[in-house]
Amino acid sequence: MRNTDQINQAVASEDMLPNCGVVAVANAIGETTEKMMETFRQVCKRDGRWQGRTNYVMRRKVLKHLKVKFTEKRASGSLKKFVEWQTARDKKYIVTLGDHIVFVCNGIVHDQHEIKPADEHKFASKRVKSFIEVAA
């Protein structure tokens, strides 16, 4: 596995694809986006034209395929409040915000658009629907 900070810097430049779920899973397990795209294609039987749009079932299927331990939970409130009230230090979260997915660790929100603290992130006020806590 590679250093997540290196991965996230590379991922932030890939903001034109609808691959937020792939990016979040890649960040959560410390893998590159390119490798994770291939894993999603293989596990979820997608062809080369697939650009990365995922759903809840696909993300679960890939995490199980990779034997990643995780816990799924419902949540409510804004992303900022979720990070403030429901996250713990050094824990990794894949968070669903409406139709968008982000990765959260240590109060920092990572997606393919930007990497910022939760209260400064452009999606800070978006409502959290659910999240997956990824075991270390």
- Asked if 102 and 20 count as a contact pair (C-beta separation under 8 A), the reply is yes
For residue 127, what pLDDT is reported? 96
pTM, whole model, 2 decimals? 0.88
- Domain covering 4-134 assigned CATH 3.90.70 in the classification: yes
Q: How many Å separate Cα 128 from the centre of its chain?
A: 13
Q: What's the pLDDT tens digit per position in 79-122?
A: 999 999 999 999 999 999 989 999 999 999 998 889 999 999 99
What residue ranges do the domains of the chain occupy? 4-134
